[in-house]
Chain A
Amino acid sequence: MADEIAIQITQVTKFYGSGTDSTRALHDISVAIRHNEFFTLLGPSGCGKTTLLRIIGGFEDFQNGEIILHGNSIKALPANKRPVNTVFQHYALFPHMSIRDNIGFGLKMLGKNAAEIRERTDEMLDLVKLTEYGHRRPAQLSGGQQQRVALARALAPAPRVVLLDEPLSALDLKLRQSMRHELRRIRESLGMTFIFVTHDQEEALTMSDRIAVMSEGELQQVGSPEDIYNNPANIFVADFIGQTNLIPGIVKATTADAAQCQLAGGQSIEVPLARQPTPNRGDTVKLSIRPEHMDICQPDSDSAQITGVLKEQVFLGTDMQFLIEIDDSILLMVRLQSTQDSLHRWNPGDQVGIRVNIGFVRLLTS
């Protein structure tokens, strides 16, 4: 039953406040989250991720829509009756309780007996590798350890769905990276549905089975990390996920499998349509070309599809980044691996050609 739906969200709309000073936090959100999936809500700050998570958790009401958990509507269920647990952004560990009591709290509230609670707490402490810390208070643990306690506390009652609101954002970079692996490992070993919120696209890309990209309360695209990265549904997604060049252009002609596009500066490029919808002739579009999908060559070489002037090159460690101006109007960013060759081959002011891996170019209209 790998494709069983854990949570079905249908046309959820949410306004904060009422009357004239109400803010629309969510608009017509519909998404199905599969059982056992690591599902990420990704979007810039203020786009409504926390609101959606709190609606699933039962902490916010909403004006319109429906939420089905494993076949049953949970719209009318209060938060303490939903088989859903949350890892809060600031952990919200109970400061007056030991780590063990924190982890066992959910089971205690569910009325489990002491032996069962003890056994499960041991199991959870082991899972998050904090066995020796059970008797400490939260304040006596480091940020990373508190984070793992918060996770263990949410997992202990074996909820059907775990909600995680930017759980890694308070950690420093090193810890954040190791916690990514930890989270994946733990989820895989337990087989639970995780709904994970982040504004960090790298976090989303590396951890998720599927990602929902949100902006201003609306769902922009839902798909696998590769899908979102390589086939962004619109300009917002292309721009938000990774880095890309968005070049204004006009569709001059289309055939069954390619579109002839004229760039703003006047040069033309042919874009294959195998993996994207066919635009109309005359459409104004943005061509999304990722910096790593281009290569620099001699301007008069046969493989040069566009030519321009090298403005600037920046050494980034493993990569070199080049800024190339086309027709005095468009700046293109190109990224190559730093080899001896790419380091010294061109100088600012040089006329250069650009070879585009056109299979990855996307024509976006909105």
Chain B
Amino acid sequence: MTGKSQDIRHYSGFLPISLICLVLLYGPLIIVMIYSFNDSPSITVWGGFSLRWYDEVFHGLEAPKFKKAAFNSFTIAIMAASTSTVIAVCTALAMLRCGNFRGKAVTFGLVSLPLMVPEIVTAVATLIFFSTIGFKAGYATILVAHIAFCIPFAYLPIAARLQGIESFYEEAAVDLYASRLQAFFQILMPLMLPGIISGFLLAFVISLDDFIITNFVKGAGVETLPTAIFGAVKQGIKPNIMAISTLLLMLSVIFVTLSYLAGKMGSRDKG
């Protein structure tokens, strides 16, 4: 803003470094996407454009397996995202609207810790926890684990949103004879909604994509899409895996974009 010299593009090396980062990040993804349309069964030789691998995903030999896995993934993601969003809203309200209480800092640490702890550690710990209490591995263990690790992802956008909402809106509602519950549902929740949607979508994608924790706690026989893909890849990479990956990627992109847009939505009609 204050002049061209401040512009980051004027630092030498900006362009090559940016290009390297972009290529490393997105190059493989783009190659996977391109080769998912490859007519040849080889994963390295281009044999013309075709949708056969997409057809294979939905109607091929492995289709029932993937369909079952997709069903598990989506139902778990919806339930995990919903539950963790509710918990995240409650946590955000307690953290940001209930004054100071003992253990507030610790609570914040506990809520955001899963973001920092290596996922493999969480995975092992969760597995040990389930086997200690004798919880049989399967669909339910995946769901519980997903709810737990989705909370911080749902919490961040919700808390960020709530932080930006001045407390005078609730005061105005209470001043106008609303009970605390009415003030929440009529005023605060609509104002928080972009954050809530954003948090839900983020949690949904995180749950949908998760591999490590799921793989540890899933037990035999129950698969989600990522574990099913991993299982298939172990027997050799076939182009249909690329097709599934591309579909999953598109879905993630859509959800992350929606989450971003939901977050933006609110800042427009504020003030």
Contacts and interface: CB of A to CB of B under 8 A. Distances in A.
A95 B270 contact: yes
A94 B171 contact: no
A80 interface: yes
A157 B177 contact: yes
A153 interface: yes
Contacts of A80: 174-179
Contacts of B166: 90, 92
Given A92-B166, A92-B168, A92-B169, A157 B271 contact: no
Interface string B179-191: 1001000110011
B179 A94 contact: no
A85 B178 CA distance: 12
A153 B176 contact: yes
B179 A137 contact: no
B168 A106 contact: no
A296 B33 CA distance: 92
B7 interface: no
A109 B271 contact: no
Contacts of A153: 172, 176
Contacts of A95: 191, 269-271
Contacts of A94: 169, 172-173, 187
Interface string A83-117: 01110101011111000000001100110000000
B168 A79 contact: no
A86 B175 CA distance: 7
A106 B169 contact: no
Contacts of A139: 269-271
Contacts of B175: 57, 59, 79-80, 84-86, 154
Interface residues of A, number: 25
A86 B172 contact: yes
A165 B168 CA distance: 12
B164 to A, nearest CB: 12
Interface in A2-56: none
Nearest to A153: B176
A106 B175 CA distance: 8
Interface string A60-85: 00000000000000000011110011
B168 A110 contact: no
Contacts of A90: 166, 168
Nearest to B190: A96
Contacts of B168: 88, 90, 92
Interface centre among A57, A81, A92, A154 (most CB of B within 10 A): A92
Interface of A: 57, 59, 78-81, 84-86, 88, 90, 92-96, 105-106, 109-110, 137, 139, 153-154, 157
27 contacts: A59-B174, A59-B175, A79-B171, A79-B174, A79-B175, A80-B174, A85-B175, A86-B172, A86-B175, A88-B171, A90-B168, A92-B168, A92-B169, A93-B172, A94-B169, A94-B172, A94-B173, A95-B191, A95-B269, A95-B270, A105-B173, A105-B186, A106-B176, A109-B177, A109-B179, A139-B270, A153-B176
Given A86-B175, A92-B166, 12 more contacts: A57-B175, A80-B175, A86-B171, A93-B172, A95-B270, A96-B191, A106-B176, A109-B176, A109-B177, A137-B269, A139-B271, A157-B176
